[in-house]
Structure formats: structure tokens, C-alpha cells
């Protein structure tokens, strides 16, 4: 494995990161295939659907005097 400093010094860091990722994925494939006792994510139930009464965000009043508040 390459250290982050070694990757930064290379002329093509994306290639080093891709090779590092490939090596890690091959290593994790061999370890996960050997352990059959791990729980599968497919068995997890789906989360309940969101309703319109449960919005992902809410709007708040706009701050017009932002600079004055930050200066205080």
C-alpha cells in the first residue's frame, strides 16, 4: 500500500488511487467470501416511505443583516 504522501508525489495520483482501490476491493472480496456468518444487507427490511407531513427540510426567515450580525 502507498502512503498518502507517496500518492501526492506521483505524477498520476488518480492511477495510484485506482490501483489502491482495486487492491483493497480484491482483499475485501477474499475476506468476505471466506466468512459466511456475516449478515446480508438484502435481508434488511425497507425503510417506511416518507410522507408529505415529514419534509426533508424547512425554510427559515432570510437573514438580511448578515454582515452586521457577524461583526457584532
Which residues does 38 contact at the CB level (< 8 Å), separation at least 6? 32
* Cα distances (Å, whole numbers) of residue 66 to 29, 44, 45, 63, 70: 51, 45, 45, 6, 6
Whether this model's pTM surpasses 0.75? no
The domain spans of the chain are: 1-34
Rounded Cα distance between 20 and 26, Å, is 10
Tens place of pLDDT per residue across the chain (72 aa) = 567 666 666 666 566 666 666 667 776 665 554 444 455 567 788 888 877 787 777 888 998 998 998 987
Rounded Cα distance between 27 and 46, Å, is 30
Amino acid at each position: 500500500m502507498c502512503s498518502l504522501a507517496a500518492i501526492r508525489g506521483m505524477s498520476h495520483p488518480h492511477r495510484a488511487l485506482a490501483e489502491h482501490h482495486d487492491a483493497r476491493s480484491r482483499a475485501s472480496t477474499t475476506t468476505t467470501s471466506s466468512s459466511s456468518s456475516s449478515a446480508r444487507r438484502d435481508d434488511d427490511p425497507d425503510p417506511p416511505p416518507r410522507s408529505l407531513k415529514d419534509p426533508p427540510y424547512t425554510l427559515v426567515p432570510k437573514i438580511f443583516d448578515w454582515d452586521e450580525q457577524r461583526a457584532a
